[in-house]
Amino acid sequence: MGGKKSDGKVLAQNKKASHDYFIEDTYEAGMVLTGTEIKSIRNGKANIGDAFATIRNGEINIHNMHISPFEQGNRSNPTDPTRTRKLLMHKEQIHKLLGQSKQDGFSIVPLKIYIRNGYAKLLLGLGRGKKQYDKRETAAKRDAQRDIQRALREKQKIAR
């Protein structure tokens, strides 16, 4: 019965990332967690809205990711919910990400947290910042698509 535990349920998502950045490429990273942080993540008590990633000394870290303390936690509960956490990636991936993020206008953006095979994973995106007119253009396209779908639904209701 030793099958793989793979649910891939999204536990936290950065919805502002697609609004503020053009996501060029994505990478999956593991997280180094302490104490009962994994229990809080599984309960959906994580927030990556203000989080950002940096690469220093060949290691990638995530800053400002908020994981609320576990309610039934013990003394191994971390005291600082927004502490800097190390991310686990292959060296080649880190070097590739570093090279791409050094280009003008690119940054490393956390996109979502999910569980894969029993481990918490963080999806990182290589994002190029959007200008204000790009954001307006994206919103206009989304509104136009919504209007088209609404018109098609109305037409189908009338045809019945």
Q: How far is CA 30 from CA 45, 73, 87, 113, 118, in A?
A: 18, 23, 6, 10, 11
Q: What is the rounded CA–CA span in Å between residue 146 and residue 140?
A: 10
First to last CA, the chain: 51
Q: What is the rounded CA–CA span in Å between residue 153 and residue 137?
A: 25
Q: Give the model confidence (pLDDT) of 50-62 as tens digits.
A: 888 999 998 999 9
Q: Give the model confidence (pLDDT) of 39-85 as tens digits.
A: 888 888 888 888 889 999 989 999 998 888 887 766 666 667 888 89
